[in-house]
Amino acid sequence: QSIPFFIAFIGLEFAVSWVQKSKLPGRINDGISSLSLGILSRLPDVLFRSVDLISYIYVWNNYRLFELPWDSPWTWYLTFLGVDFAYYWFHRISHEVNLLWAAHQVHHSSEDYNLFTALRQSVLQKYTSWSFNLPMALFIPPSVFAVHLQFNLLYQFWIHTEVVTKLGPLEWILNTPSHHRVHHGRNPYCIDKNYGGTLIIWDRIFGTFEAEDAKVVYGLTHPVNSFDPIMLQLRPLVHIWNTFWATPGFCNKLSVIFKGPGWGPGKPRLGLPEEIPVITGKEVPFNPSVPAYLNCYAVVHFAVIMDLYTELLATVTMLSQGTILLRIGFIILSLTSFGLLMENRQDKNHIIFFLLSLCVIYQILEIIRCLVFVGVYKLGHLRSQFSSLCYAYEVRY
């Protein structure tokens, strides 16, 4: 239900940015990458129930100490604070524990900062965040918790923008675009700051607050330089795996997993601040040159995938498990293909050459994807929300 509002706010951000700066707030390749990661992060919910709610309800049913009345305003105020407090600590630990950072870093991998970035999410993060909310299940009803969990996440959408500057006195209490721009920066002064979700008071209390100062350069301290959603999700785990086996000593191996991503033998838990790359102001985002027709092609086909994805969400309860898996597989294949086309690489060491063995150009994957679409569409396993577009889709593919 939130998708139409997301689209409307993205359109508004584009309009305001054009009026303010005479330019759009992002790039096609990075925007498609962010949206692809957002879709990918939600696909497990098509197959499985939310681990947040399942675990919460289990604790509530079996271990609650007492029950706060769901219709009391004080219960709602307390839940608002509790959810945001839990999010602060989950978010902070996700930056300070390497294994959790491997999931969360996906959200920080964009070198743009706009509302598309808000949708850039990890597939794995939800499987580590649920435990931080469980103490509330001892006394707060699941229905109240569920509302505030969604509210907390939805609030964080709008703060991913550069078109909103400072908000005056609200900056002391709320997490605002200015505060969150700092959180997404790779400038040394931005690292591990401003973890709040809705409120910024936790950062002020626990010493992790930093006000926006020098111009923020966005992204990871060591940029990934890829738009492939699968690679963006899995590369950090591969890095941890390789570092784990290359690091001598059992305790050091455990430290690779449970200390900060900047840790190394002989270093502090979170690494050495002086090893963070210096920002010169001349950093250039990863932006491979691709023909204009390829950008148009990717945008049009991505719009088709958005249609198929939203139709899947709307009809999932009426579909067989086989059809659901087939649709999910096609969506993943499409998102991967778009990312590789946007990279426009000719690098034979890239993962697609490992997976497809003798293929020499990424366009072969796109040809395969289009042939798969025509086949499964003809068999009735893929459907658009708009019946009038069915023939147009077949012609396009």
Reported as a single tens digit per residue, the pLDDT across 123-141 is 999 888 889 999 999 999 9
Answer yes or no: are the C-beta atoms of 342 and 29 closer than 8 Å.
yes
Query: Which pLDDT belongs to residue 345?
Result: 66
Name the residue among 30, 186, 207 with its Cα closest to residue 194: 207
Query: Which pLDDT belongs to residue 9?
Result: 93
Reported as a single tens digit per residue, the pLDDT across 310-335 is 889 888 888 888 888 989 999 999 99
Query: Which pLDDT belongs to residue 22?
Result: 85
Instruction: Report, as ranges of residue numbers, the positions in the chain whose pLDDT lies below 50.
Output: 348, 352-359
d(CA 346, CA 62): 56
d(CA 74, CA 88): 21
Q: What is the pTM of this model?
A: 0.88
Query: Which pLDDT belongs to residue 245?
Result: 94
**Residues 353-365, buried b or exposed e (16+ Cβ, 10 A)?**
beeeeeeeebeeb
The pair of structure tokens assigned to 325 is 């898996």
Name the residue among 194, 51, 202, 193 with its Cα closest to residue 133: 51
User: What would you measure as the largest C-alpha separation in the chain, in angstroms?
Assistant: 64
Domain ranges of the chain: 2-206, 292-379
Query: Whole-number mean pLDDT of the chain?
Result: 89
DSSP secondary structure string, 263-303? --TTS-TT--GGGSPPP-S----------HHHHHHHHHHHH
CB atoms within 10 A of CB 57: 18
Answer yes or no: are the C-beta atoms of 44 and 123 closer than 8 Å.
yes
Residue 147's contacts (CB-CB under 8 Å, 6 or more residues apart) are 79
Phi/psi at 199 (nearest 5 deg)? -105, 150
